[in-house]
């Protein structure tokens, strides 16, 4: 059963009459400034970009140069998380606000202050945040729990609907956003993993880890901390929580048995929270969530959904597992487009570098790989350990020649040139299968497409025209 809550606007009346500034008028900042102004707040919005200021003015806002603002009279600066506020430098406006004692937050902080009766699930990690967030939202919806997805995916914080005491906000949180959430507390906080990323913005690895750990701040005995323990920084955070947090702590692992947690063994998701090591889900049956990285996403989503919706009874557990199995996947992230006989077609256009493509290459065998575009530094040399998964590569775009040189002597390949030709070549090479035709370019798209989304959409449209193609879970011709 899918339940969709009516879009009741947030009640932001608590900010009526307050003086707030908004710095950064991208999607989240523009949404925040508009919602606060409509609620009766005195809003001073600003962006360094004249085009964004003009766009804001066209929507009824009144851009105010915050370089000249009196921050002693402004209670709160709502900051776009992408604007540096510490490392490698601070925007001068932020320094002025901080010196005046003005609090600095992101839009999600105001969401949590306005919707105090709702429950909150926060998801962070270097990789897998978007899939896990979308999967949790899907599962809760299928189970009849009113929920809304936002944060770093979906709607901006103050563009989400009011949920009240019966609803759940499922929020993807970047390290940038977590640094701007001084008082938010999550009923369920999830840390998937930590690998080096955005180190310049956090002053190094220690600062990045500290930002991620903030997701567990303020949790009490009524809250749940779900922690992946397969990397050293996350395992260290898990150990810190065990000794210093009152929250109920659930470890996750896709590599090892973890007592009292959820882990993967023998291709099954195992729930050991009651010390029963109960197999609950065979992961190979999840066509839209292949690979070890998705196993971690599934484990986290399963853990969160059981906390929020409950799954003690056999019928409840069955419904939850069915909801996970029905997840369609995220567009352009190992998105299962469909089948032709025993050949699956997968759109992983979001894989714009080798590290991202590695996840998809590791998830399948007998791959006909469509790769190329504008290569990132290092090309695809780092993928050599996965070349045995590839039966043939069809290469496109500016990187085709360089990729061919890397593959010489290791993987048979064809320089197809463009995506349509590559798909035709790949479909011919795959025959009746078993095989996977995988668009996972390991490249940016801008030589031939406006975006990775446009590239993925073009792939999907072309696949749908193939003779004998059928959609997932239909078993019939499209």
Catalytic residues: 129, 152, 198
Contact between 266 and 240 under an 8 Å Cβ cutoff? The reply is no
Cβ atoms within 10 Å, residue 73 = 11
Here the tokens at position 189 are: 């906080």
**Alpha-carbon distance 341 to 329, whole Å?**
21
Residue 206 CB coordination number (10 Å): 11
**Run of H or E including 38:** helix 27-38
Distance CA 268, CA 298 (A): 11
Residue 313 DSSP code: S
Please, which contacts does 195-198 make with residues 24 or more away whose CB atoms are closer than 8 Å? Answer: 195/126, 195/127, 195/231, 197/126
Nearest alpha-carbon partner for 123 in 263, 1, 303: 303
3-state helix, strand, coil in the chain (%, to 5): 40, 20, 40
The pairing of beta strand 443-444 with beta strand 374-375? antiparallel
Label residue 362 left, alpha or beta by phi (over 0 means left) and psi (-120 to 50 means alpha).
alpha
């Amino acid at each position: 059963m899918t339940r969709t809550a009516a879009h009741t606007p947030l009640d932001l009346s608590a900010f009526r009459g307050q003086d707030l500034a908004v710095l950064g008028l991208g999607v989240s900042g523009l949404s925040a400034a508009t919602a606060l102004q409509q609620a009766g707040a005195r809003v001073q919005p600003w962006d360094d970009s004249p085009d964004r200021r003009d766009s804001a003015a066209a929507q009824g806002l009144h851009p105010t140069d915050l370089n000249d603002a009196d921050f002693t009279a402004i209670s709160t600066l709502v900051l776009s998380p992408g604007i540096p506020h510490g490392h490698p430098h601070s925007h001068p406006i932020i320094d002025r606000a901080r010196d005046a004692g003005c609090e600095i937050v992101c839009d999600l902080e105001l969401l949590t202050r306005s919707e105090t009766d709702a429950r909150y699930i926060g998801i962070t990690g270097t990789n897998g945040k978007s899939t896990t967030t979308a999967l949790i939202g899907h599962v809760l919806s299928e189970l009849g729990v009113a929920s809304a997805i936002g944060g770093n995916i979906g709607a901006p914080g103050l563009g989400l609907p009011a949920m009240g005491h019966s609803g759940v906000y499922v929020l993807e949180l970047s390290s940038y956003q977590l640094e701007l959430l001084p008082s938010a507390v999550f009923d369920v906080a999830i840390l998937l993993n930590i690998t080096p990323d955005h180190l310049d913005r956090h002053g190094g690895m220690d600062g990045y880890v500290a930002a991620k750990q903030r997701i567990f701040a303020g949790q009490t005995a009524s809250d749940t901390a779900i922690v992946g323990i397969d990397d050293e920084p996350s395992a260290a955070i898990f150990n810190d929580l065990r000794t210093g947090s009152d929250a109920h702590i659930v470890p996750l692992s896709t590599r090892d048995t973890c007592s009292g947690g959820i882990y993967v063994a023998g291709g099954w998701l195992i729930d050991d929270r009651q010390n029963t090591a109960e197999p609950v889900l065979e992961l190979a049956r999840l066509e839209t969530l292949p690979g070890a990285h998705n196993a971690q996403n599934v484990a986290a989503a399963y853990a969160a959904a059981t906390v929020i919706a409950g799954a003690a009874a056999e019928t409840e557990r069955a419904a939850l597992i069915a909801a996970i199995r029905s997840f369609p996947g995220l567009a352009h992230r190992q998105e299962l487009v469909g089948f032709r006989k025993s050949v699956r077609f997968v759109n992983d256009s979001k894989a714009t570098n080798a590290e991202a493509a590695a996840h998809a290459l590791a998830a399948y065998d007998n791959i006909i790989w469509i790769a190329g575009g504008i290569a990132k530094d290092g090309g695809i040399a780092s993928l050599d350990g996965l070349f045995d998964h590839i039966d043939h590569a069809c290469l496109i775009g500016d990187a085709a020649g360089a990729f061919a040189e890397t593959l010489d002597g290791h993987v048979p390949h064809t320089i197809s040139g463009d995506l349509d030709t590559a798909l035709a070549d790949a479909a011919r090479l795959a025959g009746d299968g078993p095989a996977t035709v995988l668009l996972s370019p390991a490249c940016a798209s801008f030589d031939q497409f406006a975006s990775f989304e446009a590239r993925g959409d073009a792939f999907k449209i072309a696949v749908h025209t193939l003779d004998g193609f059928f959609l997932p879970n239909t078993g019939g011709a499209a």
